[in-house]
Chains A and B, each alone.
Chain A
Amino acid sequence: MHVIVATDGSRQSLAAAKHLKSFADPTKVTEISVIAVIRPLASVAFADDTSEGKAKWPDGSFRDAAQSAVDTIAAVFDGWGPKVNKRIRSGSAANEIIKAAKQYDAGLVVVAAGGRGLSDSVLVGSTAQRVQHYAPCPVLVVRPAPKPRKPRS
C-alpha cells in the first residue's frame, strides 16, 4: 500500500507521521510519499516549524522551507522499511494532496488537523476537512492530544 503523509510544516504534521509509524505494519506499507504543498499566493507560502534550519534573510526561500520540512518528516521513516519519496507540490493544499492520492493510487492519506479551541471550531474549510471529504482512499486525521486538565484544588 502506498501511503501519503502530508506536511504543512507544522509540528502536528510531524506528530501525525510518528503516529502512523507507531501502529502501522511496515511490511504492509510498500511506499511512503511525504508531500508538502507550497501556497504561492499566501502571505507565507510555506513555513517549516519542524526543523531548526535557519533561513538567511533576505533570500529566504519557501522552497527550502518546504524541502526541510519534507526532509524532517521523511527522516521519521528512516530504516522503517518502506521506500520513502519526498515530493513538493505547489497550489492549494487540499487539492494537491487529493490529486497526489489519485495519481499515486494511494491506500491511505495521513494528515494533521488543527489545533484546539476556537479557531478550529469557528473556521471551517480546513485542509484536513477537505481531504477527508474528497480523498479517493481512507484518511487518517491526527488531531492534537487534548490539553491535560488542571487538577481541581
Chain B
Amino acid sequence: MADAATIPHQDEEDGELKRSITGRLLFFYTLGDVLGSGIYVLIGLVAAAVGGAFWIAFALGVTVAAITGAAYAELVTKYPQAAGASLYVNKAFGNRPLTFLVTVSFLAASMAASGSLAVGFASYFDTLWSGPPALLVSLVFVALLVVVNFIGITESVWMNMLMTFVEVAGLLIVLVIGIVHIFQGNADFGVLTQIDTSGDYGSPALAVLAGISFSFFAMTGFENTANVAEETIDPYKSFPRSLVGGMVVAGLVYVLVSMAAALTVPVETLANSDAALLEVVKQGILPFSTDFMTTLFSVIALIAITNTTLVTIVTQPRVLYGMAREDVVPGVFAKIHPVRRSPWVGLIFSGAVVASLLVIGTLVTEAGGGIDLVGRLATVTVVLLLAIYAIVIVACLKLRGQDEENPFFRANTPLLFVGLVGNLAILYFTIYDDPHSLIWCAGLLGVGLVLFLAEYFFGSKGTGSRAPDLDSQEG
C-alpha cells in the first residue's frame, strides 16, 4: 500500500459524539410527517361532518395536537431516547403492564395508520390508472415500502426533505387556486361560517366535534419525531422549536387549505369524493389543462402519502425490536439482517399485519359492512393515539420535578391541562360516534397480546439480547 502517511494529527473534536439531525431537518421531518397523514385522504369526511365551516375543525384539532406536541417536546428534552411514549410512561408510572399496553397501542395505531394511508394511496392512484383493483394497489404499495425500508433507501435525510417540499407544494397549489378564485370574485365567504346541522349531528358543537374527530388523523405523526431524538443536535433548543413550530405551520396550512377547498368546491362534492382535494384542482380555475393539473396533483398526493407511510413503516419494526431485546415479544423480532442491518423479521411482520388489515377491511366492506375503510382505520389510529397522547400529558405532569438536572423545555402547565381535556373529549366523542372502531382496536391489541404470550410460553430467556446472525462468524 503506497503510504504517504502524514503525521497523525490530533483533531480538535476528539472523542466527541457527532449528531446529525439539525433543528431545520427536524422541522421538516415533523412537517412532512404531519402534513401527509390525512389532509389528502380525509378532507372529504371532515367536510361531510361539519359543512362549509370545516376549517374550524382543523384549527381546533391542530391546537390540541400542538399542545400535546409541547408535552412531547418537554419529555423528549428530558429523556432523549427513541422509545417515545413507552419510555415516558415507564418513567412516570413504573408499571410494566401499562408500559406494555401503551407500546402495543402505539404499534397498533401505527399499523392502522399505514393501512388507512395505503387505502388513500389507492384512491389517488385510481385517478392516474384505474385498471387494477384498489386492494391490489394498496397491497403492492405496502409491499414496496417494506422492501424499500429493508434496503434502507428511506434513510436519506435529503430525500425526506425533498418529499416534504413536494407535499407543501401540493397544498400550495390548492391555496393558489383558492386565491385566484377569490380575485375572480367568485368566492362566497358565507360558506366559511356554515355549519351543517341537518345531518347526523344535531347541534353545531357536535358537528364540529365530529369534524375534529375525523380530522385528527391529519394531526398525528408528530410523535414519531422521538425516533430521531437521540441524534438531534442540541435537542433542548431544537425540539420545542421544530416540533411545536412544525405543528403550527401544519395547522396554518390546514386551515388555509380547508378554506380554499370550501370556497372553490361545493361542500357536497367534497363530501362525496374519495380524493377530495382533487376536486379543487378539477374546477379548472387555473389556466392550465385540467388533465395536466389532475395528474400533477395526484402524483404530489401520492408522494405525500408515501412519505408519511414510510415513517410509520420505519417505526413499527423499531418498536418490535425494542421489545424483543428485552424478551417482551419473541426474540426473532430482534433479528437484524447481517448485510442490510434492517430488522427484517419485524418488517415483514408489520407488512403482513397491515396487509391483513387491508384484506379484512375490504372483505367487510364488500360483505355490506357499510364502512369506509379509510375512515375506519383512521378512526382506529385516532382512538389509540388520543389515549396515548392523554397518558403522555399525564406522564409529563407527573414527571415534573424529576430528572431536571439538564436543561429541558418546560411546557405551559395550564395549556397541558387544556390539551388533556381536549384529547379526552375528542377520544370520548370518537368512541361514542363509532363504537365499532373499538373492535378493530381490540383486534390489533390482540396481536400484541399473542406475541407476548408466544414469548412467555415458548420464548427462551435472553434470545433477544444476543440477536444472533448465525451465518457470519469471526474469521
Contacts and interface: CB of A to CB of B under 8 A. Distances in A.
Interface string B314-356: 1101100111011010000010111111110011000000000
Contact of B155 (A18, A58, A92): A92
Given A10-B472, A59-B83, A92 B326 contact: no
Contacts of A18: 474-475
Nearest to B324: A57
A138 B1 CA distance: 7
Given A104-B11, A105-B9, A138-B1, A58 B343 contact: no
Contacts of A61: 81-82, 230
B81 A42 contact: no
A123 B155 contact: no
A2 B5 CA distance: 7
Nearest to B233: A90
Contact of A90 (B18, B81, B103, B469): B18
Nearest to A61: B81
Interface in B24-64: none
B418 interface: no
Contacts of B473: 11, 15, 144-145
A89 B20 CA distance: 8
Interface string A11-47: 1101100110000000010110000001111111101
Interface residues of B, number: 68
Contacts of A39: 152, 155, 341
B273 interface: no
Contact of B83 (A49, A60, A125): A60
Name which of A40, A88, A145 has the most chain B CB atoms within 10 A of its CB: A40
A65 to B, nearest CB: 9
Name which of A38, A41, A53 has the most chain B CB atoms within 10 A of its CB: A41
A147 B375 CA distance: 51
A123 B151 CA distance: 7
B230 A42 contact: no
Nearest to A65: B325
B326 A89 contact: no
B18 A89 contact: yes
B154 A31 contact: no
B472 A55 contact: no
Contacts of A107: 1, 3-5
Interface in A128-145: 138, 142, 144-145
Contacts of B6: 105
Given A49-B468, A119-B340, A57 B230 contact: no
B342 A43 contact: yes
A40 B228 contact: yes
B472 A30 contact: no
A58 B395 CA distance: 15
Nearest to B232: A40
A2 B10 CA distance: 11
Interface residues of A, number: 64
Contacts of A60: 81-83, 322, 325-326
B14 A85 contact: yes
A1 interface: yes
Contacts of B1: 107-108, 138
A59 B465 CA distance: 14
A60 to B, nearest CB: 5
Interface string A85-96: 111111110001
Nearest to B325: A55
Contact of B469 (A49, A55, A96, A125): A49
Name which of A44, A49, A147 has the most chain B CB atoms within 10 A of its CB: A44
B342 A42 contact: yes
Nearest to A89: B18
Contact of B230 (A19, A45, A91, A105): A45
A52 B466 contact: yes
A11 B5 contact: no
Contacts of B154: 41-42
A43 B326 contact: no
Contacts of A15: 472-475
B342 A44 contact: yes
Interface string B287-318: 00000000000000000000000000011011
Nearest to B5: A1
Interface string B228-239: 101100000000
Nearest to B84: A58
Given A19-B475, A58-B90, A91 B20 contact: yes
B205 interface: no
A19 B473 CA distance: 12
Contact of B322 (A10, A30, A53, A58): A58
Contacts of A10: 336, 338, 341, 469, 472
Q: Which 9 pairs of residues, A with B, have the shortest CB-CB distance?
A: A57-B326, A40-B231, A90-B20, A58-B86, A1-B5, A58-B83, A91-B20, A12-B472, A47-B336
5 contacts: A28-B3, A55-B326, A57-B323, A92-B155, A115-B339
Given A43-B343, A63-B230, A107-B4, 12 more contacts: A11-B469, A11-B474, A43-B314, A43-B318, A54-B465, A61-B82, A62-B82, A62-B230, A85-B14, A87-B18, A119-B337, A145-B475
